[in-house]
Amino acid sequence: MNRTLRYRRSGRLVSILALTLLCVGFVSCRAEKSKAEASSKERQLIVGFSQIGAESAWRKCNTRSIRDAAESYGIQLLFDNAEQKQENQIKAIRSFIAYRVDVIAFVPIVSDGWENVLREARDAGIPVLITDRKIRISEEGLHAGFIGTDSFEEGRNAGRFLVRKFLEKNPTRQEAAKQVRVFELTGTIGSSVATGRAMGFREVIANHPEIEIVHSESGDFLRSKGYEIAKRCISDLLVVDAIYSHNDSMTLGIIDALKEAGIAPGKDVVIITIDAEQASIDALRRGEVNCVIECNPKTGPAIMDLAVRLAEGESIPWIVHVDEQVFTEFDNDLDAIESRGY
Ligand code: GYE
């Protein structure tokens, strides 16, 4: 065989070989791509969640609800407990971005200071769901939506009960236009829920000049601080008509201090509290608390439903407020209140 023929034959052989390799490569790429496509559809959704801590029974129930819902939805949950520090939340969100989770959800411990890390999530193409507490942000497009409590309405409900208790229910006091002195224990300074509960309460009592807030101080949603403040201010508590406490944990601390001082909670002084954990419902039934405003912690399923919709590229409602009730001493059947689970 002369060299040319040999070359021609060998050249054809090389062409056939090259074409074969090209086809095999193409097929394997297609296989890889379809596998990748398939896996992305079947791949488990990954949600990064930053929780603020475990400061109250309400918070622990909220965490249980989120973890249980992720499990029932088959979602891989990367969960971080920030131990009450915003900087830990920002670190956790950055780690979720680096891990390239599908969705980020978090409870902003305070309303401000989130712009930079939310810009980083947006630039990484990861949708962010805000839950429980709200953020104060001017720039649009940095989060997809909010689900949680309506703290303003909770504050209004506290004010409405106080008006009913002292003015509508006591015409003589209304006629005498006696002053109603209120001692307020607020939640974490700078948190949207403390701001909302304070502002909603003030919006209602603004129409009743008889009602005056004579002391307002933050107990940071903690039972220990509620107790400490009540101990320190016990002389004030001897003369106020009502205590408005932004959560049950602080209320339980206040009740401990009142009892130590021989003051009958719910009788010598009216007590209004928010969360509706089992201990405060039990206190309402014993007459040690006069009004319990529910703040629903069981938002896990709704959070995961919204996360799935975000991961599938759907838009979600900008704000979803969860349904919440008010329980008072005027209710007919306090024993009918279902077990709270927290
Ligand atoms: O009322 C309190 C918790 O953000 C609504 O935080 C939540 C509040 C809740 O510590 O118990």
State yes or no: pLDDT of 172 exceeds 50.
yes
| pLDDT for res 178 | 79
> What mean pLDDT value characterizes the chain?
90
Cα of 58 vs centre of ligand 1, distance in Å, is 6
> Residue 231: which pLDDT band, with cuts at 50, 70 and 90?
very high
Domain of 171? Answer: 151-295+326-336
Do both 132 and 164 map to the same domain? no
Please state the rounded mean pLDDT for residues 214-225.
Answer: 98
The number of domains in the chain is 2
Q: Return the number of other C-beta atoms located less than 10 Å from residue 91's C-beta.
A: 15
> Residue 2: which pLDDT band, with cuts at 50, 70 and 90?
very low
Residue whose CB lies within 8 A of the most ligand 1 atoms, among 51, 295, 296, 299, for a mutation test: 295
pLDDT tens digits along 300-311 = 999 999 999 999
| pLDDT for res 332 | 79
Ligand 1 atom with minimal separation from the 58 CA? 11
Is there an atom of ligand 1 within 6 Å of 154 CB? no
Helices (H) and strands (E) in the chain, counts: 12, 12
pLDDT tens digits along 242-257 = 999 999 999 999 999 9
pLDDT tens digits along 125-138 = 999 999 999 999 98
Please state the rounded mean pLDDT for residues 66-80.
Answer: 98
The model's pTM is: 0.86
End-to-end alpha-carbon separation of the chain, Å?
Answer: 91
**34 membership: H or E segment, kind and range:** helix 3-42
Do both 145 and 155 map to the same domain? no
Give the percent of the chain with pLDDT over 70.
85
Task: Note whether residue 24 is domain-resident.
Answer: no
Do both 214 and 331 map to the same domain? yes
Residue whose CB lies within 8 A of the most ligand 1 atoms, among 50, 59, 65, for a mutation test: 59
Question: What's the token pair of residue 88?
Answer: 């830990």
Q: What's 122's domain CATH number?
A: 3.40.50.2300
Task: Note whether residue 173 is domain-resident.
Answer: yes
DSSP string for 138-168: SSTTS--EEEE--HHHHHHHHHHHHHIIIII
